[in-house]
């Protein structure tokens, strides 16, 4: 069991610098800051979440530039360790993004975010979750397969930076007993691996 505790909560604009730090570490073409701001403030169909550590050292303000000519310039805490987003459009919940800080991977936080998005999708009466993932991204595909997503086709040359194809993946019917069992088993497994709560 990992010592740190984690909270999942809605993403806030004040957290965007932290989100973008993780995004730059994870994706070749990060979204512009304004895209996130628009999603959070204007898109009623969008639900963006962060997972953050509650460990005290992460709450302390960080110096923005160690050798800065503004020695007292500080940014906020550095506690966000992962984030995700889902758009709920009628019966479909489309996962737009998910990423975990490279220093916090393989703890179960990716699963935690998937489960919370599935709960949101269910509440909004969506019947399935979908997403696109790079053909070469086997780690992310393994995460989705663990939650019952299966292949739903290919979008050729989908990614603008290198024109890699995207694999479309679809969850099982969210209301099916199989999916509910997967969620419950996933939560139980996670409770053995990490301490976490939600503020959703």
| Secondary element (H or E) of residue 5 | strand 5-10
191 binds ligand COA (CB under 6 A): no
Annotated active-site residue 48? The verdict is: no
How many residues interact with ligand COA (rule CB under 6 A)? 18
> How far apart are CB 65 and ligand COA at their closest, in Å?
27
Give min distance, CB of 13 to ligand COA, in A: 22
User: Which of the ranges 86-94, 119-127, 133-141, 156-164 carries the binding residues for ligand COA, by CB under 6 A?
Assistant: 133-141
Contact between 51 and ligand COA per CB under 6 A: no
User: Cα separation of 89 and 20, whole Å?
Assistant: 25
Residue 176 has a CB neighbour count (10 Å cut-off) of: 14
Is residue 2 near ligand COA by the rule CB under 6 A? no
3-state DSSP assignment of residue 67:
coil
Q: Select the residue interacting with ligand COA from 137, 159, 180, 187 (CB under 6 A).
A: 137
Min dist CB 117 to ligand COA, Å, is: 12
Q: Mask: binding to ligand COA, 9-38, rule CB under 6 A, as x and -?
A: -----------------x------------
- Taking CB under 6 A as the rule, does residue 139 contact ligand COA? yes
Name which position in 140, 152, 180, 187 contacts ligand COA (CB under 6 A): 140
Q: How far is the CB of 79 from ligand COA (least distance, A)?
A: 16
DSSP the chain: --SSEEEEEE--GGGHHHHHHHHHHH-SSPPPHHHHHHHHHH-TTEEEEEEEE--HHHHSPPBS-TT-SSTT-B-----EEEEEEEEEETTEEEEEEEEE-GGGTTSSHHHHHHHHHHHHHHHTT--EEEEEEETT-HHHHHHHHHTT-EEEEEETT--TTT---EEEEEPPPTTSHHHHHHHHHHHHHHHHH-EEEE--
- Choosing from 23, 39, 132, 172, which is the catalytic residue? 132
Establish if 107 lies at the interface with ligand COA (CB under 6 A).
yes
> Active-site residues: which are they?
132, 144
């Amino acid at each position: 069991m990992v010592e740190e505790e984690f909270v999942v909560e809605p993403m806030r604009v004040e957290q965007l610098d932290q989100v973008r730090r993780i995004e730059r570490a994870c994706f070749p073409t990060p979204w512009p800051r304004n895209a996130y701001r628009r999603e959070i403030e204007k898109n009623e169909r969008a639900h963006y979440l962060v997972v953050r550590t509650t460990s005290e050292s992460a709450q302390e303000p960080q110096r923005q530039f160690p050798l800065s000519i503004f020695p007292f310039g500080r940014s906020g805490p550095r506690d966000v360790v992962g984030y995700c987003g889902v758009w709920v459009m009628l019966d479909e919940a489309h996962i737009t993004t998910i990423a975990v800080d490279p220093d916090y991977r393989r703890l179960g936080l990716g699963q935690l975010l998937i489960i919370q998005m599935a709960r949101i999708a269910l509440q909004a009466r969506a019947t399935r979750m979908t997403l696109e993932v790079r053909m070469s991204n086997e780690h992310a595909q393994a995460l989705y397969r663990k939650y019952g997503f299966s292949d739903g086709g290919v979008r050729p040359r989908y990614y603008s930076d290198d024109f890699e194809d995207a694999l479309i993946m679809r969850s099982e019917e969210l209301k099916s007993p199989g999916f509910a069992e997967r969620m419950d088993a996933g939560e139980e497994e996670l409770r053995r691996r990490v301490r976490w709560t939600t503020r959703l």
